[in-house]
Structure 1
Amino acid sequence: MAKSKIKVAYIVSTLKKSGPTNQLLNIVSNLDLNVFQPIVITLSPEPAESLLKEFKRAEVTLYTLDLSRWSGVVFGLKKLRKLISTAKPDLLHTQGIRSDILASYLDKPHICTIRNYLQLDYPMTYGKLVGSVMTKCHIAFLKRIDVIAACSKSVSRNLLLSGVNSNAVQNGVNTKLYYPLSSAGKEQLRLHLGLPVDKQIFISTGHLTRRKDPLTVLRAFEALSSESTVLLFLGDGDMRAELEKQCSKDSRIIFTGRVINVDEYLKSSDFFVSASRAEGLPNAAIEAMACGLPLIISDIAPHEELFELNQNIGQIFRERDSSSLAEAMEKAMNFDREAAKSNCLTVINEHLSAKVMSQTYQELYVDVVRKIR
C-alpha cells in the first residue's frame, strides 16, 4: 500500500509581497509533491501587492479566513479550528505573531519559523512600548510550540537568550530568478533600464527606514572621490524625502521607488550595499549574491553569518559608521571582482538556495510526523 502524503498547513496573515512571503513561496515551490501535500491558510484579505498568483502556480491549495485584524482577535481561533478540522493536516507551519499564537491553541504538531530579532524588530517597527509588549507575548507563546525554526544561526542564538530552543534553517534564494548575467547581457539590461553603461553601480534595496539606515549609505557614497560611480536606491519609505533633499544636487544618486523587477536592477549592478541595523538573514543580500554581486554590509550578526560561509564575498564595515562604509566601498572597487562573484555563487549553490532550504524543512517535517505516526 502506498504511503499517504504528509499534509502541511502553512498559516500566515496574508500573502503580501514581502521577504517572509517570498521565503514561504521558496519552501512550497520546492516541495516533493510525491511526499507532501501543501495547503496555505491566510487569516486576512489579500492586500493589493500579493503573491497569491505565484502560490496558485505552485500547486498549493489555498484557504482564507478573510478576517480583519480586530475580527481575527474575536473569531480567528474558532474559524481556524473549524477549517483545520475539515482540512485535516498532519502538521502546521506558521510564521508571524498572529498565526504563531492562534495555531499554538490547536491540537496539531506545530512548527513555526522566526525570521527576525524580536526584541529589536518589534520596537523599531511599532515603538518601544508596544514593541516590548509584543516581544514578551510572542516569546511566551513560542514556548508552547513543538518545533521552532530560525531563519539564521544568529536568530537561533538570539532566541536562546530568551530561553527558546530552535533549529537554524537558513533562508534561501530562488536561483531561477536571481542569477548573474554576462558582461554583454548586463550592458543590454542597463540600456533597457536607462542606467549608465560606463559607471560602477552600487545598489541598495529595501525600505528607506531608520532600521535599514540608508542615511549612512548616502553619506558614505558622497564621501567617495570617484566620479565614475552611481548609487542606486531601490524601495520607498518614510526617509525617502529626507534623503532626496540631502543629495538633490548629486546626479550620481538615483531613487527608483518600489519596483517589480528588483532582479533586473541587481543583475545590472556591480556591488550590493546595506547598512541595516537589524535583520534575520537578509533576503536582499542573498539575492544580490545570487546575481554575483560582492557584498558591502554592516557588521550585525546576521550579516557576519554570511561571511562565516566564505570570507571572500565582499567587505564588512562598522554599523552606523559612514567613514567605515566609505573605506569598504573604496576597497571593494579595487579587489578581484570575478573571484568574489565566484565565491558568492558557490555559497548560494551550496548553502543558500531555495532548494537547499526547502529540503531542510522537508526533512524536519518528516522527522516531526514520524514521531507521531
Structure 2
Amino acid sequence: MKLLIVVSHLRRGGLVEVVYNLCQRLVNEKRVQLTVLSLRKEPADSRIEMFRALGIEVLSLNNSYFACELRSSLVRAQVQQIVNQYQIDVVHCHGYHPALVCAGLVGVKKMTTLHDRATEDFINAFGPFLGRYMLNRYFHALAGFDLNVAVSESGAELYRQFLDNVDYVNNGIDTEKFGLLADSERAVKRKHLHLPEDTTLFVTSGRVEREKRCEELVEFFAKKVQNKQVGLLVLGDGSRLESCRQIAKNCPNIIFTGRISNVADYLQCADYYVSYSKSEGMSMAVCEAIACGLFPVLSDIPSHIDVAKPIGGLLFKRIEDVDVNAVLSKRIDKNELHEYIDAYFSMVSMTHGYTNIYRRLCAE
C-alpha cells in the first residue's frame, strides 16, 4: 500500500508531533510505502530533517499561506500530479489547508485527521467573522473525504453533528520518552534543571495563548495558593507569556522556562499537571504528563474528560474551585498512570488504529 501523508508544514507543534509519532511506527510496517508532503514553505524551526532521518521521502511544494488559502485548486493540481506519479493508494491529510487542497483529488482514497474542535477553535483563534468563513470552507471540504478521523471519542461526537463519515483514533505519544523516573533520579534531575528541591510542583505546558487561559491560571497560583511549598512551572512560549510574567513578578514559586526542547525532563520532575484550556482536540500535553506519572487537574472540556475521567483525574469548571490541599492529599500510583497512557494513548495503539483504517479503505 502506498500512503501519502499531507501537512501544511513540518514546524514544531502538537499536530506535527502526532504525525512524527505515526511515521516512526509506519516506517516499520512492511506493507506500507510512505511519503510525506508539505504544502507550504518550511519555517526555520521545521522538523523536516527529523522526518528524513527516519528514512522517509519528504517532499515540499513551497507554496505560500495565501496560495493554499486562495488558490487551492492550483495547489491541488500539484498534489494530484504527485498522487498520479507515485501511484498513491491512500492520501492522509492533517490540518485545515491540506483538507481544502486535497478534498478534490481523484483516483485515490482520501482521509483526514481532525486534530481540533473546529467549531470552537476557529472562532477562538480567528474571531467570529473569519472563523465562520473558515468553518464553512472546512466543512465543505471534509464532506469530500472518504473518511474523517477525530482524535478522540468526544471529538467524533462533535463532528458527527455535521458529517456522516466520521471515525476516531486516539492520539498517541512516545511512552518510552515520556516515562517514569526513580525518586533518586528525579532529585538529581531537579537539581540539574535548577528547580526547587522541596517544592510540590504543578506544571502546565504548551502554547501560552489566550485560549489556554494561562493568565487566569498564573493569577490563581500567585494570589490564591497560600502554601509556600507549592509552585507552578510554566513550560512554553506564546503571546501571553510576558503578561503571565508580570502577574507572577513577586512570586518566586512560579517559574517560566520559555520555549524548550526537553519537555519530558521537566514533566518527570513535577508532581501534578494542570490545564485551564478552553478547548483541545486531544491534548498531547496531558497524555505526556500522565505518562510521566503526574496526576491531572484539568478544566472539564470534552477532550480532558476523555483522558482524565477513567483514572479519576480532577476536573473543574473554574480554576477558583480547585482545592489545592485536597489535591495534595490524593494518593497517586504513578505506575498505574503510565500504564493507562501506554495502553490507550501511545503511538503504538494510534498506529494500529490508523493501519486498520488504511487497509479498510484500500479494501473498499
Q: TM (normalized to structure 2)? A: 0.95
Contact 2:291 2:339 in 1 (8 A): no
Contact 1:139 1:164 in 2 (8 A): no
**More deviation, 11-20/53-62:** 53-62
What secondary structure is seen at the aligned counterpart in 2 of 1:43?
Answer: strand
Q: Report the residue type matching 1:138 in the other structure.
A: Y
Among 61, 66, 89, which residue is 1:65 paired with? 61
The aligned counterpart of 1:322 is 319
The aligned counterpart of 1:289 is 290
CA–CA distance in structure 1, aligned partners of residues 306 and 2 of structure 2: 33
The aligned counterpart of 1:89 is 88
CA–CA distance in structure 2, aligned partners of residues 83 and 282 of structure 1: 32
CA–CA distance in structure 2, aligned partners of residues 271 and 286 of structure 1: 12
CA–CA distance in structure 2, aligned partners of residues 18 and 239 of structure 1: 17
- C-alpha offsets along residues 102-128 of structure 1, whole Å, 9 cap, x if unaligned? 111111100100011101111111121
1:11 correspondence with 2:6: yes
- C-alpha offsets along residues 115-162 of structure 1, whole Å, 9 cap, x if unaligned? 111011111111211011111211111111001110001111110122
Contact 1:224 1:330 in 2 (8 A): no
The aligned counterpart of 2:77 is 78
- C-alpha offsets along residues 53-72 of structure 1, whole Å, 9 cap, x if unaligned? 22112221111111112234
Give the superposition deviation at 1:235.
1.2
Give the superposition deviation at 1:164.
4.0
Give the superposition deviation at 1:268.
1.0
CA–CA distance in structure 1, aligned partners of residues 61 and 213 of structure 2: 36
Q: Report the residue type matching 1:355 in the other structure.
A: V
The aligned counterpart of 2:194 is 194
**More deviation, 295-304/79-88:** 79-88
The aligned counterpart of 1:21 is 16
What secondary structure is seen at the aligned counterpart in 2 of 1:356?
Answer: helix
The aligned counterpart of 2:131 is 131
Which ranges in structure 1 are unaligned for 5 or more consecutive residues?
Answer: 1-5
The aligned counterpart of 2:105 is 106
**More deviation, 161-170/293-302:** 161-170
Among 15, 23, 46, which residue is 1:50 paired with? 46
The aligned counterpart of 1:39 is 35
The aligned counterpart of 1:118 is 118
Q: State, as a whole percentage, how many aligned pairs show the same letter.
A: 25
Q: TM (normalized to structure 1)? A: 0.93
Give the superposition deviation at 1:165.
3.4
The aligned counterpart of 1:276 is 277
**Where does 1:105-184 land on structure 2 (aligned, <5 Å)?**
105-107=104-106, 108-184=108-184
**More deviation, 78-87/66-75:** 66-75
CA–CA distance in structure 1, aligned partners of residues 6 and 344 of structure 2: 26
Contact 1:142 1:164 in 2 (8 A): no
CA–CA distance in structure 2, aligned partners of residues 34 and 20 of structure 1: 25
The aligned counterpart of 1:332 is 327
CA–CA distance in structure 2, aligned partners of residues 8 and 365 of structure 1: 8
CA–CA distance in structure 1, aligned partners of residues 46 and 139 of structure 2: 28
CA–CA distance in structure 1, aligned partners of residues 174 and 204 of structure 2: 19
**Where does 1:161-310 land on structure 2 (aligned, <5 Å)?**
161-222=161-222, 223-308=224-309, 310=310
Contact 2:215 2:247 in 1 (8 A): no
CA–CA distance in structure 1, aligned partners of residues 331 and 135 of structure 2: 43
- C-alpha offsets along residues 331-364 of structure 1, whole Å, 9 cap, x if unaligned? 2211112x2x233112112111111101110011
How many matched pairs? 358
What secondary structure is seen at the aligned counterpart in 2 of 1:211?
Answer: helix
CA–CA distance in structure 2, aligned partners of residues 245 and 69 of structure 1: 34
Which ranges in structure 2 are unaligned for 5 or more consecutive residues?
Answer: none
CA–CA distance in structure 2, aligned partners of residues 350 and 77 of structure 1: 38
The aligned counterpart of 1:3 is none
Contact 1:159 1:165 in 2 (8 A): no
Q: Cα distance 1:370–1:163, how it changes in 2: closer, same or farther (>3 A)?
A: closer
